[in-house]
């Protein structure tokens, strides 16, 4: 019998929120294994949560809240299947199995079983049959434990839009009969790339918000870190899982230093490195060591983590090994060529070999269609032009960057940089 301790209603609600954030991914994963339908599994988990809110405020929080939620959800599964008069053979079989399990007092699966279920759920919610937006919403909902309101607020979109994405995503998975399984070895790399891409997209939206009034949304960074650590734990032999964790840990270490007292952005070279979180840096470097220890060439995330590590190891901005960073960007460009990587390479070259070298690379991207509305291209060009003393051109580029960004804090920063460009001498 589960033991419980009497608590106040407020304490119970706080405990329920914390328990749900921690236990809901395992709960939904375990239920998905049983009912083979991620939408139904989430409904059952939500039913169990409602029961917890009703009962725990009266009786107290159980010693093992995860086991309580799973047992309650299984009861709900049996009740729902009994009520459905149109049960097909599969559901009837599931109902008999659940009833038998309850009669035998089947224990809650051990953590290893939960790990297998979680891994399967990770690949389901990031399945390529879903759009990127749907993968992000479903990942945060089912694996991150966020509410629809929290997801909408984080990405500055209407709550009904997020709700529709989640509903459509679950329907798509059901209609496509996506199996509850880890991809076969031949498909694992491509499918894992999708999973890691979703997690990093969530992290980046927290680290450099694309829109709104805030430069950062740290809660999203924490959610992404939690998911990244989970995947690395579930797939410890995959170097890129550790590479992504290393990258996010090191980048997240700068959170306090990236924002000033009034919420204004502080760029990397201007940051107080004494405010960098040394614990996160150490964790990031350990994760990078794990990725390297698994052997083979470093993947895109591990290479980006190695770049971040160069910054983390430099005690001052002046001590940064920009030549090494430029070499790492060369390797990254060969492995995962993209206009954004080339733009970052231009920045590194500008620091390592002079602004003219960086500007040459940046200018080659002016005609790139995918960067036509990308505010960081004129921002980078403005910085390089300013260093070359071409103030009028630099001012124009900063103003163009400000007109393209949708983030209010970033717009203000770029306008300030434009205003700081001195007029060129006419002599």
Domain boundaries, the chain: 1-108, 321-427
Summarize pLDDT for 265-307 with one digit per residue, the tens.
Answer: 999 999 999 999 999 999 999 999 999 999 888 999 999 999 9
CB 126, CB 137: distance < 8 Å: no
- Contact assessment for residue 389 and residue 405, using Cβ atoms and an 8 Å cutoff: no
* Helix orientation angle between 300-313 and 278-293, rounded to the nearest 10 degrees: 140
Q: Does domain 321-427 have CATH number 3.40.50.920?
A: no
Q: Is the pLDDT of residue 10 over 80?
A: no
Q: What is the pLDDT of residue 30?
A: 87
Nearest to 254 by CA among 286, 205, 216: 216
Q: What is the pLDDT of residues 64-95, one digit of tens each?
A: 888 888 888 888 877 776 666 555 555 556 66
pLDDT at 143: 86
In the prediction, which pLDDT does 114 show?
45
For the stretch 142-184, pLDDT in tens is: 988 888 888 887 777 899 999 999 999 999 999 999 888 888 8
Q: Please indicate whether residue 164 or residue 61 has the higher confidence score (pLDDT).
A: 164
Cβ atoms of 203 and 154 closer than 8 Å: no
Q: What is the pTM of this model?
A: 0.80
Q: Taking CA 192 as the corner, what is the angle to CA 188 and CA 337, rounded to the nearest 5 degrees?
A: 110
> What is the mean pLDDT of the segment spanning 235-248?
96
Q: What is the pLDDT of residues 97-125, one digit of tens each?
A: 666 555 544 444 443 344 588 889 999 99
pLDDT in tens, 189-230: 888 999 999 999 899 888 887 777 777 888 889 989 999 999
For residue 83, CA distances in Å to 79, 80, 92, 328, 369 come to: 6, 5, 11, 60, 56
What pLDDT is recorded for position 104?
A: 44
The percentage of the chain sitting over the pLDDT mark of 70, rounded to a whole number, equals 89
| pLDDT at residue 5 tops 60 | no
- What's the chain's average pLDDT? 87
pLDDT at 423: 87
């Amino acid at each position: 019998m589960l033991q419980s301790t009497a608590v106040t209603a407020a304490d119970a609600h706080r405990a329920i929120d914390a328990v749900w954030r921690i236990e809901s991914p395992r709960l939904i994963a375990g239920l998905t294994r049983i009912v083979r339908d991620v939408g139904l599994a989430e409904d059952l988990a939500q039913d169990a949560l409602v029961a917890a809110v009703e009962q725990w405020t009266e009786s107290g929080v159980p010693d093992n809240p995860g086991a309580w939620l799973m047992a309650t959800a299984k009861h709900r599964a049996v009740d729902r299947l009994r009520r459905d008069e149109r049960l097909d053979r599969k559901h009837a079989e599931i109902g008999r199995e659940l009833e038998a399990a309850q009669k035998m007092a089947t224990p809650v699966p051990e953590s290893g079983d939960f790990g297998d279920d979680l891994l399967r759920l990770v690949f389901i919610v990031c399945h390529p049959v879903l759009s990127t937006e749907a993968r992000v919403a479903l990942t945060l909902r089912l694996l991150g434990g966020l509410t629809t309101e929290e997801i909408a607020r984080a990405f500055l979109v209407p709550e009904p839009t997020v709700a529709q994405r989640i509903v459509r995503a679950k329907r798509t998975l059901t209609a496509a009969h996506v199996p509850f399984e880890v991809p076969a070895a031949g498909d694992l790399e491509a499918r894992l790339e999708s999973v890691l891409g979703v997690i990093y997209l969530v992290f980046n939206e927290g680290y450099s918000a694309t829109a709104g009034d805030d430069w950062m949304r740290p809660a999203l960074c924490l959610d992404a870190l939690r998911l990244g650590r989970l995947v690395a734990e579930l797939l410890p032999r995959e170097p890129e899982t550790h590479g992504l964790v290393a990258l996010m840990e090191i980048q997240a270490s700068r959170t306090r230093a990236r924002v000033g007292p009034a919420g204004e952005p502080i760029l990397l070279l201007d940051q107080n490195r004494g405010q960098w979180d040394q614990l996160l840096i150490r964790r990031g470097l350990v994760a990078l060591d794990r990725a390297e220890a698994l052997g083979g060439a470093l993947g895109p995330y591990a290479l980006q983590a190695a770049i971040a590590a160069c910054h983390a190891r430099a005690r001052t901005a002046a001590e940064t090994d920009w030549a090494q960073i430029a070499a790492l960007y060369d390797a990254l460009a060969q492995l995962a060529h993209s206009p954004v990587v080339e733009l970052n390479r231009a920045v590194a070259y500008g620091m390592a070999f002079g602004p003219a070298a960086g500007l040459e690379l940046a200018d080659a991207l002016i005609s790139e269609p995918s960067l036509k509305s990308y505010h960081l291209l004129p921002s980078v060009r403005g910085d390089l032009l300013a260093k070359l003393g071409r103030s009028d051109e630099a001012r124009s580029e900063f103003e163009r960057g400000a007109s393209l960004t949708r983030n209010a804090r970033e717009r203000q920063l770029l306008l300030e940089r434009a205003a700081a460009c001195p007029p060129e001498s006419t002599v």
